[in-house]
């Protein structure tokens, strides 16, 4: 998102003697300055200290984030692209990979002005960061002190599963992160697999992602598979999880569940409205293949004692927990929500009479208000 910076004024790049149009890009909780000259050369102002480097069209520009402006190294920031094209900012090495889509300014081009309702921190940044041997993709928005991680359902990510939450949860109260679990969305490679411990693996990845992003604690909002992951994370990392909201989740698998899962194995039989976002994200072949693998992966729990996924962990959840259930959910019967409510001490169960599996999308305003009230 580009906002005017010093509208109607020309600023001079540090020490260059040339005049530049100026914009600012809102990214996370910092402001990055990107300046474009009439020659379409580019300048990147470093994250904290205002160090600049110049780059000719089509070349790479390197400036160290938050530091000295030294050349490429761990944690360096690279700007690449050609004049008039879309460029990308990446942080290399073992630290967070930050990506901002930036339009190069040409002579006499005007920077789009934010509308009256726009405020600091309303942009969404997209990035990758190395966690547990995988480059995990995430989106981030908001400037609030309360960190919130959105955990998607099967094959989902922030784009497909949490549009109304990313857009409308309070930017002042929360810093919202939506991740792509390994093998889903933009967190590839690797391709997704489903060993018996895949939920535990996701839980560790999720917590380690937030720690890598320097959040001291975080609340978790988990939908469907993401709800199972969130329950496990809250049980295994109790000192890290602040509050927990889950919906469409289950702690075990029954024969009834297996029948439901077999019914969604063939994605060609899904409604186009449900199928299209995931097909667009992954491509049809990978989407179809991975859905079949997911069905096999989730059914394996049905053959364990009591169909156990995480029922043994529920008493270990210590944080305040809100369980939301849509009473018309065709995929997760009511008894699953009741079981979790019974076994998570002090949890609260909220029923939505008209809610189905995607209640947070269908009734987004009601859901978001419920979540904001609970998290505060």
pLDDT tens string 216-257: 999 999 999 999 999 999 999 999 999 999 999 999 999 999
Q: Is 357 among the catalytic positions?
A: yes
Quick one: pLDDT band at residue 69, thresholds 50, 70, 90?
A: very low
Q: Is 208 among the catalytic positions?
A: no
Q: Where are the alpha helices (DSSP H) in the chain?
A: 158-161, 163-168, 198-212, 225-236, 255-262, 272-282, 284-299, 334-343, 359-362, 364-375
pLDDT value of residue 121: 55
Where is pLDDT greater, at 201 or 105? 201
Domain extents for the chain? Answer: 2-103, 124-375
Beta bridge mates, 61: 79
- Rounded Cα distance, 24 and 155, in Å: 34
Confirm if 360 and 367 have CB atoms less than 8 A apart: yes
Cα 307-308-310 angle, rounded to 5 deg? 150
Mean pLDDT over the full length of the chain: 78
CA distances from 221 to 131, 165, 238, 247 (A): 20, 10, 15, 8
Provide mean pLDDT across the span 287-303.
98
Confirm if 261 and 295 have CB atoms less than 8 A apart: yes
- Rounded Cα distance, 339 and 315, in Å: 11
Quick one: pLDDT band at residue 42, thresholds 50, 70, 90?
A: very low
Which residue shows structure tokens 């480059």?
135
- Rounded Cα distance, 341 and 336, in Å: 9
**Residue 136: CB partners within 8 Å, gap ≥ 6?**
128, 129, 130, 179, 180, 181, 182, 187, 205, 209
Confirm if 104 and 40 have CB atoms less than 8 A apart: yes
pLDDT value of residue 322: 99
pLDDT value of residue 110: 31
Q: What is the pLDDT of residues 73-98, one digit of tens each?
A: 333 333 333 333 223 333 333 333 33
Quick one: pLDDT band at residue 122, thresholds 50, 70, 90?
A: confident
Instruction: Report the b/e string of 249-285 with b at 16+ CB within 10 A.
Output: bbbbbbeebbeebeebeebeeeeeeebebbbebbeee
pLDDT value of residue 20: 32
Q: What is the pLDDT of residues 129-144, one digit of tens each?
A: 999 999 999 999 999 9
- Annotated catalytic residue: which of 63, 219, 224, 347? 224
Confirm if 231 and 222 have CB atoms less than 8 A apart: yes
Out of 23-27, 215-219, 278-282, pick the least confident: 23-27
Quick one: pLDDT band at residue 16, thresholds 50, 70, 90?
A: very low
Provide mean pLDDT across the span 337-363.
99
Assess whether pLDDT exceeds 60 at residue 375.
yes
Each as own residue / partner, the long-range contacts of residues 205-208 (CB below 8 Å, 24 or more positions apart, any chain) are 205/131, 205/132, 205/134, 205/136, 205/181, 206/149, 206/151, 206/179, 206/181, 206/230, 206/233, 207/233, 207/237, 207/240, 207/241, 208/131, 208/132
Sort 72 into a burial class: Cβ within 10 Å, 0-12 / 13-18 / 19+: middle
- Annotated catalytic residue: which of 186, 336, 357, 360? 357
Assess whether pLDDT exceeds 50 at residue 12.
no
Where is pLDDT greater, at 212 or 44? 212
> Whole-prediction pTM value?
0.71
Omega before residue 189 within 30° of 0, cis: yes
pLDDT value of residue 9: 33
What's 124-375's CATH class? alpha beta
- Rounded Cα distance, 311 and 183, in Å: 25
Quick one: pLDDT band at residue 359, thresholds 50, 70, 90?
A: very high
- Annotated catalytic residue: which of 161, 329, 336, 360? 329
Q: Is 186 among the catalytic positions?
A: no
């Amino acid at each position: 998102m580009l906002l005017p910076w010093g509208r109607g004024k020309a600023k001079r790049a540090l020490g260059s003697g040339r005049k530049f149009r100026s914009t600012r890009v809102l990214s996370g909780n910092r402001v990055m300055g990107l300046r474009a000259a009439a020659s379409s050369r580019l300048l990147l102002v470093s994250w904290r200290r205002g160090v600049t480097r110049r780059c000719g069209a089509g070349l790479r520009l390197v400036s160290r984030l938050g530091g000295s402006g030294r050349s490429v190294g761990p944690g360096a920031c690279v700007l690449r692209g050609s004049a008039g094209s879309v460029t990308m900012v990446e942080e290399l090495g073992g630290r967070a990979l930050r990506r901002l889509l930036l339009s190069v300014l040409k002579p006499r081009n005007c920077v789009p002005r934010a509308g009256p309702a726009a405020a600091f921190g309303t942009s969404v940044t997209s990035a990758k960061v190395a966690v547990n041997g995988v480059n995990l993709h995430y989106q981030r928005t908001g400037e609030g002190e309360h960190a919130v991680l959105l955990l998607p359902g099967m094959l989902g990510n922030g784009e497909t599963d949490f549009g109304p939450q990313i857009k409308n949860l309070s930017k002042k109260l929360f810093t919202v992160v939506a991740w792509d679990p390994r093998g889903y969305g933009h967190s590839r490679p690797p391709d997704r697999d489903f060993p018996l411990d895949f939920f535990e693996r996701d839980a560790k990845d999720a917590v380690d992602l937030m720690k890598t992003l320097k959040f001291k604690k975080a609340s978790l909002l988990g939908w469907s598979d993401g709800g199972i992951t969130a329950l496990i994370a809250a049980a295994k990392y109790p000192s890290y999880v602040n509050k927990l909201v889950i919906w469409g989740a289950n702690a075990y698998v029954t024969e009834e569940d297996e029948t439901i899962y077999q019914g969604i194995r063939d994605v060609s039989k899904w409604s186009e409205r449900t199928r299209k976002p995931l097909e667009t994200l992954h491509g049809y072949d990978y989407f179809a293949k991975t859905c079949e693998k997911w069905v096999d992966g989730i059914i394996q729990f049905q053959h364990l004692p009591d169909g156990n996924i995480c029922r043994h962990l529920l008493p270990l959840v210590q944080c305040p927990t809100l369980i939301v259930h849509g009473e018309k959910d065709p995929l997760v019967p009511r008894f699953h929500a009741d079981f979790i409510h019974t076994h998570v001490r002090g949890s609260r169960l909220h029923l939505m009479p008209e809610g189905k599996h995607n209640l947070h999308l269908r009734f987004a305003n009601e859901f978001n208000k419920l979540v904001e009230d609970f998290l505060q």
